[in-house]
């Protein structure tokens, strides 16, 4: 038996061949503050629906992996103050312990694949941290993209990471990095990072075709679609850079590392920029939800491979 429960709505949609978009929950528990985390989680689900797809937020509750949460479950996660952040390493162990946890990009991909969902929308992915040459801190998200056939829509890796190293690591792992409608690699709050996106596509149908062709060619793993933040919500790279540098220095001073590092940096940048980065974060996640719904619809159309 598959150790994952799909909500009735997600089950129905998948059986009927309707488009479904997976959503992660670490952004709810560790990425955004209460109550904006709940408001955003609800708004993202609504955006997926408005774009004609069914949302499937993924999390572990009471030892059960779930694809598709009801509003009470979403609120439970959003209010949780000390909940485990689950990646590939922790997912099954947490379930065996009958615990709760939110899922990162890596763990959400695993659950999405298991549930039969091929498209996933998030804000930012994990990557190679600055100083990784000594800390070895490389997110499990990158290996998951290399292994698990889910197309992930993000707004580009955050500039809290080492972006050139993150791109190299993705290339080594055979993960296609697709700039949507842009030649530039977007960097989350900023539409441009100074780096070029390795691949450009302007049409969700092409992204779906590439997903199908990878499978048909026997190439395992997923795709990373980098969708630039809407211009009106963007924070230019030179404005956000000093804030990021200060957050990284503070993490080093406090000895923060491991699983705690990404949440620490996200929280520090959010606190330092107040409403602005929060508004940017919400705008880009909604934008990614819309694009993911279009890709999911194109994948349904392109079902034969
Ligand atoms: N980067 C962001 N926003 C996020 C995350 C990363 O810009 O919310 C979250 C995602 O859940 C991602 C996880 O999968 O952090 C990566 O954590 P780590 O670096 O510990 O693998
Ligand atoms: Mn890490």
Strand 20-23 to 54-61 pairing: parallel
pLDDT at 1: 77
Distance CA 53, CA 268 (A): 34
pLDDT digits (tens, 9 = 90+) for 129-142: 999 999 999 999 99
pLDDT at 304: 64
pLDDT digits (tens, 9 = 90+) for 245-282: 999 999 999 999 999 999 999 999 999 997 799 999 99
Distance CA 224, CA 9 (A): 26
In the predicted model, what is the mean pLDDT of residues 63-73?
98
The 10 Å CB-count burial string (b at 16+, else e) for 225-241 is: bbbbbeeebbbebeebe
Alpha helices (H) in the chain, listed in sequence order: 8-15, 26, 36-50, 71-79, 91-96, 105-115, 132-135, 140-147, 163-172, 204-216, 237-254, 261-273, 275-301
Beta-carbon count within 10 A of 79 CB: 14
Residues marked active site are found at 24, 158
In the predicted model, what is the mean pLDDT of residues 288-301?
98
Asked if residue 57 has its Cβ within 6 Å of ligand 1, the reply is no
**Is-contact 163 157, C-beta < 8 A?**
yes
Ligand 2 is an ion; residues with CB less than 5 A from it: 137
Strand 54-61 to 101-103 pairing: antiparallel
Q: In the chain, how many domains are there? A: 1
**Is-contact 45 121, C-beta < 8 A?**
no
Asked if residue 186 has its Cβ within 6 Å of ligand 1, the reply is no
In DSSP terms, 45 is beta-bridged to: none
Question: Any idea which ligand is nearest the CA of 41?
Answer: 1
If one residue of 22, 86, 141 were mutated to test the ligand 1 pocket, choosing by the most ligand atoms within 8 A of its CB, it would be 141
Residues 6+ away with beta carbon under 8 Å from 191: 182, 184, 228, 229, 231, 234
pLDDT at 303: 86
Residues 6+ away with beta carbon under 8 Å from 255: none
Q: What percent of the chain has pLDDT over 70?
A: 99
17, burial (CB in 10 Å: exposed 0-12, middle 13-18, buried 19+): exposed
Quick one: which atom of ligand 1 is closest to the CA of 32? 8
pLDDT digits (tens, 9 = 90+) for 25-58: 999 999 999 999 999 999 999 999 999 999 999 9
If one residue of 108, 125, 259, 270 were mutated to test the ligand 1 pocket, choosing by the most ligand atoms within 8 A of its CB, it would be 125
pLDDT at 245: 95
Strand 119-121 to 20-23 pairing: parallel
Ligand 2 centroid distance, CA of 279 (Å): 26
Which residue range forms the structural domain that includes residue 78? 4-304
pLDDT digits (tens, 9 = 90+) for 164-208: 999 999 999 999 999 999 999 999 999 999 999 999 999 999 999
Ligand 1 centroid distance, CA of 66 (Å): 19
Ligand 2 centroid distance, CA of 139 (Å): 5
Task: Evaluate if pTM is beyond 0.85.
Answer: yes
CA distances from 224 to 44, 168, 177, 178, 199 (A): 19, 13, 5, 6, 10
In the predicted model, what is the mean pLDDT of residues 86-113?
98
Q: What percent of the chain has pLDDT over 90?
A: 96
pLDDT at 305: 53
Handedness of CA 166, 171, 175, 176 (dihedral sign): positive
The CATH number of residue 17's host domain is 3.40.1790.10
Question: Any idea which ligand is nearest the CA of 104?
Answer: 1
134, burial (CB in 10 Å: exposed 0-12, middle 13-18, buried 19+): exposed
Question: Any idea which ligand is nearest the CA of 188?
Answer: 1
Asked if residue 101 has its Cβ within 6 Å of ligand 1, the reply is no
């Amino acid at each position: 038996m598959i150790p994952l429960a799909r909500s009735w709505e997600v089950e129905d949609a998948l059986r009927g061949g309707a488009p479904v978009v997976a959503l992660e929950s670490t952004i709810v528990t560790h990425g955004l503050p209460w109550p904006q985390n709940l408001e955003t989680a609800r708004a993202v689900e609504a955006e997926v629906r408005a774009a004609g797809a069914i949302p499937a937020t993924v999390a572990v509750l009471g030892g059960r992996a779930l694809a598709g949460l009801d509003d009470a479950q979403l609120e439970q996660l959003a209010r949780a103050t000390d909940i485990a952040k689950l990646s590939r390493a922790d997912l099954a162990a947490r379930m065996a312990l009958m615990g709760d946890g939110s899922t990162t990009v890596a763990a959400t991909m695993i659950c999405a694949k298991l549930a039969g969902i091929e498209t996933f929308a998030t804000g930012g992915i994990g990557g190679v941290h600055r100083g990784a040459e000594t800390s070895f801190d490389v997110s499990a998200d990158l290996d998951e993209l290399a292994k698990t056939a889910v197309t992930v829509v993000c707004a580009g890796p955050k500039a809290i990471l080492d972006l050139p190293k993150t791109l190299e690591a993705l290339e080594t792992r055979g993960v296609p990095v697709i700039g949507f409608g842009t030649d530039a690699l977007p960097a989350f709050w900023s539409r441009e990072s100074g780096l070029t996106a390795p691949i450009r596509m302007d049409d969700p149908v092409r992204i779906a075709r590439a997903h199908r062709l990878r499978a048909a060619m026997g190439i395992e793993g997923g795709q990373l679609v980098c969708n630039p933040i809407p211009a009106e919500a963007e924070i230019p790279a030179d404005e956000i850079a000093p804030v990021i540098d200060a957050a990284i220095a503070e993490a080093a001073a406090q000895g923060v590392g491991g699983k705690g590092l990404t949440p620490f940096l996200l929280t520090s940048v959010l606190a330092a920029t107040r409403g602005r980065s929060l508004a940017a974060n919400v705008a880009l996640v909604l934008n990614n939800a819309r694009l993911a719904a279009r890709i999911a619809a194109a994948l349904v159309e392109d079902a034969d491979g």
